[in-house]
Amino acid sequence: MIKNHKKAQVTVFIILGLIILLVTGILIYFSTEVFKYAGLDEQFVPVAKYTEQCIEDVASQGIFLAGMQGGYIYPPYEEDEAYLNTGFPVTYWFLAGEDRSVTILKLESDLELYLKNNLNNCLNNYAEFSNEFEITDLNEEDLAFDVDIEAKEVNIASAIPVQISDSSSTATMPELKISFDNTIGNKIFLAYKIMKAENEDGFLEFYTNEIIAASAWLPYEGFDFTCRPSRWRVDEMKDYIQQAVAVNIPFLMFKGTDYEKTGDLYYDKIYLVDVGASGVKDLQVRTSYNPRWNMDLDVNPSKNGVVTDIKMVGQTIAIPCIKVFHHKYTVYYPILFEINDEENSNYPFFFATPVIMTRNEPDRYAEMEPWPSETDAIRNAEFCSETTKITNYSLNADGSITTEETELPSWTNSLDVIAMDSLYGFDQILEDVEISYRCGRFQCEIGATEYGSGNILVAYPLLSSTFPDCLNGVIIAGKEGYQKTELSQTVSENTDGSTINLEMHRLEKLDFDVTAVVNHNNIIEQRELDENELAVITLTNQEQNFEKVMIYPTAGEDAEGFDKLELLVADGITYYVDIKLIDEDIYTGGFVYNWTPDANAITSANSAHFYVIKKDILLATDENYREAMQYAEEESINYPPELS
């Protein structure tokens, strides 16, 4: 009896399951057929389905076109420079400091217009049904579409007001709603995250600098101990860098995406980029550069297309057989991104961006001051001209036209600039401070601070002048005996008449010397440098854009510019001090220290005293050499620089 009871229970469950399945099937039928095509006679449903298929096909064509052109079906930019020519025009998502990335709203709008312009190419005025029904001609002006792009799906609602008739009835096409799988929404999201990271952090510029710095052939930073002269041609360096970028850039990987490790520890660790994207694990990103695309390269120091060795900050110094490299690279070239996924492999998404590196640093917004070799003199003169020529046309009584050229001021908005000593503030306002203004790659000389500037009667010097209009330009102040000062400042109607206060750090020149602290079998002694020893001292402070290189000991004309120490007279300035001790072409000692001298101590001192740490190496092995260098760094804390 128990067994029969269980069989009865199973039978009941089977019947209930069949009922649920039947009800579900009926609901699906009504939702897809009856409710979906409400008001449309059954014989006309194939026409609606045909229309839906055409809408999906045309929309897919538009999405493919958008993916090839950086998300734009109808690119909005007229200039050729807005696109990377890869065989098809790919929109630069960043150009001339401007974000040009596509938005979902823009693509939805483009897709709606594309459907309106191209749907009838697929429908062909319903010629497919001409033997069965009479269908009114399609009027593109009456078509309406509402496109909604989601992460992995595209939804389209359409209004196609055509009438369908047969011998028994007439109906109007109902609103059609189509949904189909496509990941273009997710691809745009990932592309946006990549560009956001690039514009904020400059990771492409970082890798460009890394590629150059890692080269054993290109001059970059450091020392070379050979008497053989070294020369490089810029055009050969350009070819080399183009090939190196083309080989290395494709190794870039992005966290959260579908990427494969290379198996090389260097690339797997260094070339993995985190752009903060989630939900993109099905997407692959390919980064590429083609050497056939243009690359602008400027290397400093160079002359007549030739890069030389032994160039340092300041004037040239020539020390036999010791060459110091301090080379800066300015590079501009395009990078192409391709985003794809396996399920939608027929719909790649491309976008491009320029890599903009100025003197080894990212410079996407042209914030770094250009060197003379980087400035187009003619265009700079045009930008900096205070007047603009215009031509007036007038019609004479006899019908002839007379022209007359006149000049109008092009600088219309003014600033009042006050420069003061950073230590004393308004108690020491500075005269004869040369003021210039940089906008992108253009730099204009404005004038100097003086009494009565702009006919303003005040008891202190200033510069009251008009400036060229510029968004986020930079005011640059220079005066003999002071560190150059820069301040970001927009010039526009909104800033007209503003007063700008600049603080400038005075430079104090000091003599200096270096003492060697030598560890010989754990016996410490201090001594002067030997005849064959040379110390190269570098002081840097990134916040103030300060760098000073000195050589000790120095003698003769070759040492000019490297025989004096300069310090900023200000409190709270920390210098990173790096000293290399060299003996007959070999590093034998070093010193590293973060030094924050007091402003009063600087002004009252005549000289500075530095130490360099050396540990004797009894057996010249790589391990002993590394141990000696590490010892020098660790002991540096015990020998801070001294002012006297």
* Residue located via tokens 């595209």: 154
The strand pair at 328-340 and 323-326 is best described as unpaired
pLDDT at 30 over 50: no
Which residues make Cβ contacts (< 8 Å) with residue 268, sequence separation at least 6?
253, 261, 262
| In a domain? residue 87 | yes
pLDDT of 26 reads 53
Q: Are 115 and 62 in contact (CB under 8 A)?
A: yes
pLDDT at 23 over 60: no
Across the strands, what pairs with 303? 306
3-state helix, strand, coil in the chain (%, to 5): 30, 40, 35
pLDDT of 387 reads 83
Number of domains in the chain: 5
User: Which of the listed residues 462, 481, 504 is the one where a domain comes to its end?
Assistant: 504
Confidence of residue 321 (pLDDT cuts 50, 70, 90): very low
User: Largest alpha-carbon pair distance within the chain?
Assistant: 122
What are the angstrom distances between the C-alpha of 329 and each of 240, 244, 289, 563?
Answer: 13, 15, 18, 27
| Residue 566: closest CA among 476, 483, 503, 485 | 483
The model's pLDDT over 91-138, given as tens digits with 9 standing for 90+, comes to 999 998 899 999 999 999 999 999 999 999 999 989 989 898 999 988
- Phi, psi of 113, rounded to the nearest 5 degrees: -70, -40
State the number of CA atoms in the 13 A half-sphere of 102 facing the CB. Answer: 36
What six digits make up the tokens of 618?
Answer: 């009894």
| In a domain? residue 559 | yes
Prior bond of 301 cis (ω within 30°): yes
Do 352 and 209 share a structural domain? yes
pLDDT of 593 reads 96
Q: HEC string of 91-137?
A: EECEECCEECCCCHHHHHHHHHHHHHHHHHHHHHHHHHHCCCCEECC
pLDDT at 265 over 70: yes
- Entry pTM: 0.59
pLDDT at 397 over 60: yes
For residue 446, the domain's CATH number is: 2.60.40.1120
| In a domain? residue 392 | no
Side chain identity, residue 296: D
Q: Rounded to whole angstroms, how far apart are CA atoms 91 and 337?
A: 11
State the number of CA atoms in the 13 A half-sphere of 604 facing the CB. Answer: 7
What are the angstrom distances between the C-alpha of 493 and each of 334, 490, 497?
Answer: 35, 10, 9
Do 517 and 459 share a structural domain? no
Q: Rounded to whole angstroms, how far apart are CA atoms 152 and 135?
A: 35
Do 248 and 363 share a structural domain? yes
The domain in which residue 22 lies consists of: 1-35
The strand pair at 498-504 and 463-467 is best described as unpaired
Do 602 and 537 share a structural domain? yes
Q: Rounded to whole angstroms, how far apart are CA atoms 565 and 607?
A: 8
* Residue located via tokens 């690279």: 329
User: Which of the listed residues 483, 504, 525 is the one where a domain comes to its end?
Assistant: 504
| In a domain? residue 174 | yes
| In a domain? residue 404 | no
The model's pLDDT over 447-474, given as tens digits with 9 standing for 90+, comes to 999 999 988 888 899 999 999 999 889 9
Do 225 and 141 share a structural domain? no
Residue 129 gets the label, from left (phi > 0), alpha (psi -120 to 50) or beta, of: alpha
15-24, 49-58, 434-443: which is most confident: 49-58
Which residues make Cβ contacts (< 8 Å) with residue 364, sequence separation at least 6?
94, 97, 198, 199, 202, 205, 356
Do 490 and 422 share a structural domain? yes
Confidence of residue 370 (pLDDT cuts 50, 70, 90): low
The model's pLDDT over 556-584, given as tens digits with 9 standing for 90+, comes to 554 556 778 999 999 899 999 999 888 87
Do 603 and 536 share a structural domain? yes
Mean pLDDT, rounded, of the chain: 86
| Residue 259: closest CA among 291, 235, 282, 226 | 282
What are the angstrom distances between the C-alpha of 309 and each of 225, 250, 361, 373?
Answer: 12, 32, 21, 18
